[in-house]
Amino acid sequence: MELEAVIGLEVHVQLGTRSKLFCACSAEFGGTPNSRICPICTGQPGVLPVLNREALRLAVLAGHALHCTIRTHTKFDRKNYFYPDLPKGYQISQFDQPIAYHGDLEFQMDDGTPRRAGITRAHLEEDAGKAVHPEGATISLVDLNRAGIPLIEIVGEPDLRSPAEAGAYLTALRRTLRYARVSECDMEKGSMRCDANVSIRTSGSERLGTKVEVKNMNSIRNVEHALAFEIERQKNLLLAGECIIQETRSFRDADGTTVRMRVKEQADDYRYFPDPDLPLFELDPSWIESIRRLLPESYRERRRRYEKDLALSDYDAEVLTEDREVSDWFEKVLAEGVAPKVAANWVQGEILAHLNATAAPIGTLRIGPRDLAELLSMVDAGELSQLAAKKVLKEMLSAGGRARDCAQSLDLLQMRDSSELNAIVDQVLREDPKTVADYQGGKKSAINGLIGKVMRASRGKGDPQVIKQLLAERLGG
C-alpha cells in the first residue's frame, strides 16, 4: 500500500521584549545562571503576575502577520505539570481562548512551487527554565534565567507532507516574523524552537494516523532530518503490521535518530484551568486595528517590489530579502541615489561575502550605506576603477574610514591626466614592438593587450578610456 506523511508543526517564538512576560526581569539571552530572576518568575508564595503590554502587542502583531483573527476577549490558563525547571509547578499559558487563530502562511519550495499551510492558533505563554546536565556529574542543575520569558506558540494545521515542505514552512515563518519585528528567531539562542507532529496514513485517506511528537531540534536542517527518520520508522512499523504508539520522542543529532521520551500526554493530563491571578483581558478593536496598520512590509511584498519596481532579477530579489537587516541596509544605499542594479551587485557581492567570511551581522560593519554610496559615486565619476574600488572597500570594511581617504592612502585614485600617463604609455610601446606592429598591420584588437599592460604598469590607476585615446594617437588610429 502507498503511504503518506502528515506533518504539523508547533513553533515557540520568543517575543522581542526587554523584560519577561509577568515581571520586570531582563529577557536578554545568556547571563550568569540564576542572575535574572525575582520572586515572581521563580514562583515564590504570595506574588502576583502583571502582564507585559509589549508582549501582548507583539503577539497581536504576529497574529496580523500570519493573517489570523485577533481575539478581543482573551484569558490566561494554568497548564499543570511538574518538572525541575518549572518552579511554580505550572506554566501560565492560553488554552481555549488564544490571542490569535485561523491564519495561514504562504511559502515556496526550492523549485519555486507555491504552498500554503493553515495556522490553527497562536497563543501567549511563559517559558520554563533550563535543566543543565554536566558531563560526568551525578546531579543536574537548573538555570531559571529563561523562566518567564514571553513566548508565542504557533500551532500549524497538519497541512505539510514532507520534510522539505516543513523546512520551507519554517524558513518562511522565520522571515515573516523577523520582517514584522516580532522576534529575532535565532534557533541557536533558542528564540525559535520547533516541535513536529507526524503521522502516517494511506495515501488519499482523510483519516489521520496516530500522531508522534518529535522534540529537541535546534535547526531547520535538524527538523528535516528528524522528520525523514521518523517518517521512515513509522512506515516500516506499519508495513510490518505493527501499531504506532502516541508518544513524545527526542531527536538525537549525533546519529540522526529519534528515541522515546515519554508516552504522549493528553490535554486533560495538564488539568488546564483559568489562572485566578490574571483577569479576562478585553482588547479594544481600534487598538488591534492600529497595530495592523503599522505592520511593516513583508518579505514577500518587498521581493515583489524589487522585481517589479527596481527591475531586479528573481535571484537578486531573493538574496536581498533573505535577511531583514541586509535588506534594510540595501534600501539605505538606494536612498543615497545609487542605481538599483549597481547597489544590488555590490551588496550581495562584496558586502555579503565579507559578512559570510566574518560570520558577523550587518549591524557590526565598520561602514554604513552612505560610505558605500560614496565609493560607488567615485567609480561612476571615473575616479576609481572597479578593481581599485574593491580594494578600497576591503580596506574600509577592515579598518573603517571614508572612501576617498582610503583610496588616497592606498594610492588608487585613477590617473586621468594624460601628462601622468604619457611616460607609461611610451614605455609600454617601446617594450612591446611586436604588439605595436600587429596593431599597425591591421590587427586592431591588439590594442587591448597594450591597454592591459599600461593598466598594470600604472598599478590599476590609469583610466582605460584615457589610455586607449593616448595609444590610438601614438599608433595612428
Concatenating the DSSP letter of every residue in 56-69 gives HHHHHHHHHHTTPE
Q: Is pLDDT of 389 > 80?
A: yes
The vertex-403 CA angle with 398 and 408, nearest 5°, equals 100
- Residue 267: pLDDT band (50, 70, 90) is low
Lowest mean pLDDT among 11-15, 426-430, 439-443: 439-443
> Treating both helix axes as pointing N-terminal to C-terminal, what angle do 433-440 and 446-457 enclose, rounded to 10 degrees?
150
* CA–CA distance, 351 with 293 (Å, rounded to integer): 33
Name the strand (E) or helix (H) holding 26.
none
Question: For the residues 338-346, what does the mean pLDDT come to?
Answer: 97
The pLDDT of 173-178, averaged and rounded, is 96
CB 123 within 8 A of CB 153: yes
Task: Delimit the domains of the chain by residue range.
Answer: 8-196+267-288, 297-409, 418-475
Predicted confidence (pLDDT) at residue 1 exceeds the cutoff of 90: no
- What does the pLDDT average to over 254-266? 84
**Grid coordinates of 441:** 598591420
pLDDT of residue 417 exceeding 70, the answer is: no
In terms of Cα–Cα distance, which of 176, 235, 172 is closest to 203?
235
pLDDT of 136 above 80: yes
Tell me the CA distances in angstroms from 46 to 39, 145, 273, 275, 384, one per residue in order: 9, 20, 19, 14, 70
Give the model's pLDDT for residue 159: 97
What DSSP letter does each residue of 276-338 carry, written as one string?
Answer: TTSPPEE--HHHHHHHHHTPPPPHHHHHHHHHHTS---HHHHHHHHSSHHHHHHHHHHHHTT-
pLDDT above 70 covers a percentage of the chain that reads 98
| Enclosing H/E stretch for 122 | strand 114-126
**What is residue 351's predicted lDDT score, i.e. its pLDDT?**
96
In a 3-state reduction of DSSP, which class is residue 74? strand
* C-alpha distances in Å from residue 166, one per residue of 115, 160, 224, 225, 252: 11, 6, 7, 11, 18
pLDDT of 425: 85
Is the model's pLDDT at 452 over the cut of 90? no
Strand, helix or coil at 240? coil
Share of the chain above pLDDT 90, in %: 73
pLDDT band at 467 (very low <50, low <70, confident <90, very high): confident
Beta strands in 203-284 (DSSP E): 212-217, 247-252, 257-263, 273-274, 281-282
**3-class DSSP state of 222:** helix
Residues 6+ apart with CB under 8 A from 144: 34, 37, 41, 42, 85, 87, 129, 130
Q: What is the pTM of this model?
A: 0.85
Q: What are phi and psi of 61, to 5 degrees?
A: -60, -45
Which of 77, 23, 25 is closest to 50 using CA atoms?
23
Q: Where do we find the cell 499551510?
A: 117
**228: Cβ contacts below 8 Å, ≥ 6 apart:** 163
Whose cell is 493573517? That residue is 67
Lowest mean pLDDT among 244-253, 319-328, 380-389: 380-389
- Residue 431 burial by Cβ neighbours in a 10 Å radius (0-12, 13-18, 19+): exposed
User: What pLDDT score was predicted for residue 233?
Assistant: 96
Q: Identify the pLDDT of residue 392.
A: 95
The predicted pLDDT at position 416 comes to: 65
Q: How confident is the model at residue 265 (pLDDT cuts 50, 70, 90)?
A: low
Residue 222 reports pLDDT greater than 90:
yes
Query: Which of 77-86, 126-135, 466-475 has the lowest average pLDDT?
Result: 466-475
Rounded to an integer, the average pLDDT of 228-249 is 94
Chain length of the chain: 477
Sorting pLDDT into bands at 50, 70 and 90, what band is 472? confident
Cα-flanking dihedrals φ and ψ of residue 120, to 5°?
-70, -50
Domain 418-475: give its CATH code.
1.10.10.410
**Contact criterion met (CB below 8 Å) for 100 and 66:** yes
